[in-house]
Amino acid sequence: MIKIVSFDLWFTLIWEDDKASYEYREKRINAIYNVFREYNPRLKLEDIHALYDLTSHIRMIISNEELIRLIGYMAGIEVDNELVERAVNKYIEATCSWNPYVNKEALTILPRLKKEMGLKVVILSNTSFAGKAIETILKNIGIGNYIDHVFSSADIGCVKPMPKAFQAIFTKYGVEPHEVMHVGDTYLDDVIGAINAGSWGVLYKGLWREYDNYREYKTRVAPRIHGAISVIEDLNEVYGLIKSLACS
């Protein structure tokens, strides 16, 4: 029996375009700069841009605190706990007012899962956003009240498809892997990752139309290779999948 439904975040519950992505990136960089320049007046905004870009390959697997420390060291600043705390708070606050596009299907399926089926609903996301920031953003767009917990890779220190990422859900709620269904838009990270961890993996294709980059990487052909995978075009189909498992 399914007790928890876990959703990927980006291009599953929410999505962004280049304009939105640029907006939150600039907010973050300006937040770091405004704190750091108090400690190093010679810093320029373009310096923080360059240093921030150097961290692109690790932002999803290190905490916001560690990210700030690394950028601070690179900026020639004597980093202490007070600076880190100030900068992290500003970094998180910078995106708390940022609103991505909400998947309208989420507005119907999340209440059904919570209120009608009585399930726990969580997010497991490969993201540089701290869970605290994601929670605020989701409240801004009207779905935060339906989410019990956000598991951010930046917080837990690992990314999907690693089993350790899914284990964070099992440990927090004391459930068995087969009692969790994970829904996401990427074949490897979300679906195969969930199956490898012992959970149910569902491939969601409804927002594939909203992105162009790496579409083939996220793979339209993969479900034909692994025929046992559930593939859905609408998040509301999750309701029927859970019902069918309960009856099997």
**CA 190: distance to chain centroid?**
11
Q: Would you say how long the chain is, in residues?
A: 248
pLDDT band at 202 (very low <50, low <70, confident <90, very high): very high
φ, ψ of residue 145 in degrees (nearest 5): -70, -15
Instruction: Answer whether residue 213 shows pLDDT above 60.
Output: no
More confident residue, 137 or 18: 137
Q: So what's the pLDDT on residue 209?
A: 81
Cα dihedral sign for 68, 27, 140, 19? Answer: negative
pLDDT band at 12 (very low <50, low <70, confident <90, very high): very high
Q: So what's the pLDDT on residue 226?
A: 67
Distance CA(176)–CA(197), nearest Å, equals 10
Instruction: Answer whether residue 217 shows pLDDT above 80.
Output: no
Q: 4-15+100-247: which CATH number, 3.40.800.20, 3.40.109.10, 3.40.50.720, 3.40.50.1000?
A: 3.40.50.1000
The structure's pTM equals 0.93
